Chain A
């Protein structure tokens, strides 16, 4: 049975039926608290930075350059990067360019299922301001209104070399403890949710997918 929580800690889950509401946790997500000793936190960040596991979800055209990146020629394994099939095991979400509304729903769901600490890389110009699909009725224009982005990589397509450079940059940021996207998401949770619900009209999933 779900532990009963005080009302300010719970989510409404209004999109679910009553039966489904019993199945999903309705607790509000909590921010990540760093270790009290700085050296321990630094060590943890060093470890995180060197085992970035990418979620295998090709959300857009950017996915095409992830294959050369992961295989023999560019071999991202050198940087501790590996592909994982499930969000539960991955720590990096690569947004492959534009996100259509239908995909955005799946992106949110997969992102929330990822265990922290988690990071988001967005490829190309489309997540920044819509890119060449700025006038399309089905692609969103500003990705960071819906999910926090830790790093943008430029190019259409971003070349594997620039992806490698981006990964190195992300590692640097993580080691310095500057990748706080997941915390920002929790901090501004209601703002993000309101934005998400504004574009996703058939919201039939829990407010936070544990």
Chain B
């Protein structure tokens, strides 16, 4: 099957991560046809989830679709790279009746748009959010929390590594592996 996908959809980077879980990469334009093919012809009928990995160093978002085949108990993790700066992604809401919720979440958490997906611009988990999408890696949640919510006096925290080295095991000269 994988050879056929390679031939017809230009699938690259096929990796068997563990028995029953394979990852592959496909171009953005071929995503919808590939997923439809997998669902209708190959029996990958269950969408486990879809999510995004933020590779800020490379300037890309990797969208991950996890598809499961109940008959041969095989899972495919389909990776699609898109640009980080406002690039759209193909919506798959017409393939799975649950997909629109994931797309709504990703729109809110990362700011990726999925044209055509229903109720895309409604608030999902946030309300009255006025910053950049919070799951993007450049968003510093600690700094934001300090500015917006403040901290009570007296809260202190230790860096565990330093604390162990200095306070708990001063004679061992650190905690070398």
> Residues on A close to B: CB < 8 A?
101-102, 105, 128-130, 134-142, 145, 198-202
Contacts and interface: CB of A to CB of B under 8 A. Distances in A.
Contact of A137 (B128, B141, B152): B141
B130 interface: yes
B130 A201 contact: yes
B148 A134 contact: no
Interface string B18-61: 00000000000000000000000000000000000000000000
A202 B127 contact: yes
A134 B130 contact: no
Interface residues on B, range: 20 to 34
Interface centre among A137, A139, A145 (most CB of B within 10 A): A137
A143 to B, nearest CB: 10
B128 A134 contact: no
21 contacts: A101-B127, A101-B128, A102-B125, A128-B152, A129-B151, A130-B145, A134-B145, A134-B151, A134-B155, A135-B142, A135-B145, A136-B141, A136-B145, A137-B131, A137-B148, A139-B149, A141-B151, A142-B150, A199-B148, A201-B127, A201-B130
A97 B141 CA distance: 20
A101 to B, nearest CB: 7
Contacts of A138: 125-126, 134
Contact of B129 (A129, A130, A140, A201): A201
A145 B141 contact: no
A141 B128 contact: no
Interface string B133-167: 01000010110110011111011000000000000
Interface of B: 125-131, 134, 139, 141-142, 144-145, 148-152, 154-155
Given A134-B151, A134-B155, A141-B150, A202 B128 contact: yes
A139 to B, nearest CB: 8
A145 B150 CA distance: 10
Interface centre among B127, B131, B139, B155 (most CB of A within 10 A): B127
A42 B145 CA distance: 43
Contacts of A101: 126-128
Given A101-B128, A130-B149, A199-B148, 14 more contacts: A130-B151, A130-B155, A134-B151, A135-B142, A136-B141, A137-B134, A137-B148, A138-B125, A138-B126, A141-B145, A142-B152, A200-B128, A201-B128, A202-B127
Contacts of A201: 127-130
Contacts of A135: 141-142, 145
A172 to B, nearest CB: 26
Contacts of B154: 129
B29 to A, nearest CB: 34
Contact of A105 (B126, B127, B129): B127
Contacts of A137: 131, 134, 139, 141, 144-145, 148
Contacts of A139: 149
B5 to A, nearest CB: 40
Nearest to A201: B128
B108 to A, nearest CB: 12
A141 B129 contact: no
A137 to B, nearest CB: 4
